[in-house]
Amino acid sequence: MATDVKVPVLGESISEATIGEWLKQPGDAVKADEPIVSLETDKVAVEVPAPVAGVMGAHAAAVGDTVTVGAVIAVIEAGGGAAAAAPAPAAASAAAVEAKAAEPEASERTLSPAVRRVVLEKGLDPSAIKGTGKDGRLTKEDVLRAAEAKPAAAPEAEDAAPAPAAAAPAGERREERVRMTRLRQTVAKRLKEAQNTAAMLTTFNDVDMSAVMEARSKYKDLFEKKHGVRLGFMGFFVKAACQALKDVPAVNAAIEGDEIVYRDYVDVSVAVSAPTGLVVPVVRDAQTMSVAEIERTIGDFGRRAKDGTLKMEEMKGGTFTISNGGVFGSLMSTPIINPPQAAVLGLHRIEDRPVVRDGQVVVRPMMYLALSYDHRLIDGREAVTFLVALKNAIEDPTRLLIDL
C-alpha cells in the first residue's frame, strides 16, 4: 500500500512552491515525520515530513519544478523493504551516523532537521562537534566548519586513484549559471515594485554611541546572567524606535487605497542572515516589550534562521523595519522600504570620528542612521523628527526609562 506525499498548506496567500531539494531518494527507508523534501516558497524554505514510515517511492516532481498546495509530489511504499534490510555501504554509514545522533550523549543538544541533514551528508559524528548554539546545540555552521576541518579520506588503492584533472588553459575565463531561488526572485520583484510605487526618499543623521556602549560594557555580564541572552545594540534601537514611532505615527502607518492606516502597535521586522540570504522575521507588539525580551526574541530568530527552522507566520506582517548593515561593515546606505510598510531604518558600523563637544574636538564612536520612507505619506519634517527622537534616546538611554 502506498501513501501519497502532498504539498502541505504553506500559509495565507501562498499557493505554490518550488522543489528545492529531495532529502530522500527512491528506495531510501524513511521514518514517520522525517523530512523528505525541502520546498522553497516566496518567504522561506519548508521541509515536508513523511506522513508515514516506509520506503521512499517515485518522485512526481523534480528539483526546480513548481508545485501547488495539495499536489502529490511523491509516494511512500509500506514496509521496510530491501533498502532497509540490506543498505549499501554509504547508506549504512548514514544510518550509523543517524543512530549516533540519537544516542543519549547527543540527545542533550537536539539536532534540527537542517543540521541533521548536513551531519548525514558529511558523515560526521555530532557528539564530537562542539556546538555554539543555545545550550550547546549544534548549528549548521558548526557542522560545516567541522566538515572543512575533517581530513580527506585516503584512496583504498593506489591504482584506484582518479587521474588528476587537466589544468585549465591559461587565460581561460569561466562562467557559472545558477538558478535564482524562489525567495530571491520574490525579493527582487518586491524591491523593484517598491521603487516603482513609492515616492522613496532617504534622510540621514548620526548618533553618538558612547552612552549605549558604556551601559552595555557595564551591565552585559549581569544582563546575560539574569536574562540568559547577550545585551546587544538592537534591543536599544528597537526600544528607541518604538518610542519615536509613538511620537511620529506616520512613520508606522501605511497607505491602503486612498486611506492611511495608523496603528497603535509596533510590529518590527528585523533583517537577519540565513543560509539562503536575508530573512525578515517580525518582533510583534515590540512597544510592550523590555530590552531583554526584545534581545531574546531577536536572538532566537537569528539562531533559527541559521538552522532553517523559522516559520512562515513569523515573517508575515510588520509595520516598520530595522536593517543592520553595520554587522557586515557598511558605513552608509539607502535601504529600500518593504511594502506596504512606509519606512525602514538602516543601521551602520560604529567607528571613531572627531566631533565637537562643548567647543572641543573629541573622538566619539559614531554611527550613521538612514531612514528611507515613502514621501507620499511621510513628510521630511516627520522623518527628521523621528530620527532626532531616536538619536536623543540612544545618546541618553535614560529617556527610554522615563518615556521622554
What residues are annotated to the active site? 375, 379
Cell of 84: 532497509
Would you say 74 and 215 are in contact if contact means Cβ atoms under 8 Å apart? no
How far, in Å, CA of 385 to CA of 362, rounded?
26
- Can you give the three-state secondary structure of the chain, one letter per residue? CEEEEECCCCCCCCCEEEEEEECCCCCCEECCCCEEEEEECCCCEEEEECCCCEEEEEECCCCCCEEECCCEEEEEECCCHHHHHCCCHHHHHHHHHHHHHCCHHHHCCCCCHHHHHHHHHHCCCHHHCCCCCHHHCCCHHHHHHHHHHCCCCCCCCHHHCCCCCCCCCCCCCCCCCCCCCHHHHHHHHHHHHHHHHCCEEEEEEEEECHHHHHHHHHHHHHHHHHHCCCCCCHHHHHHHHHHHHHHCHHHHCEEECCEEECCCCCCEEECEEECCEEECCEECCHHHCCHHHHHHHHHHHHHHHHHCCCCHHHHCCCCEEEEEHHHHCCCCCCCCCCCCCCEEEEECCCEEEEEEECCEEEEEEEEEEEEEEECCCCCHHHHHHHHHHHHHHHHCCHHHHHCC
Nearest to 370 by CA among 214, 260, 206, 251: 206
Backbone φ and ψ for 37, nearest 5 degrees, come out as -155, 145
Backbone φ and ψ for 221, nearest 5 degrees, come out as -70, -45
Distances (CA, A) of 71 to 34, 66, 67, 265, 395: 19, 10, 7, 38, 55
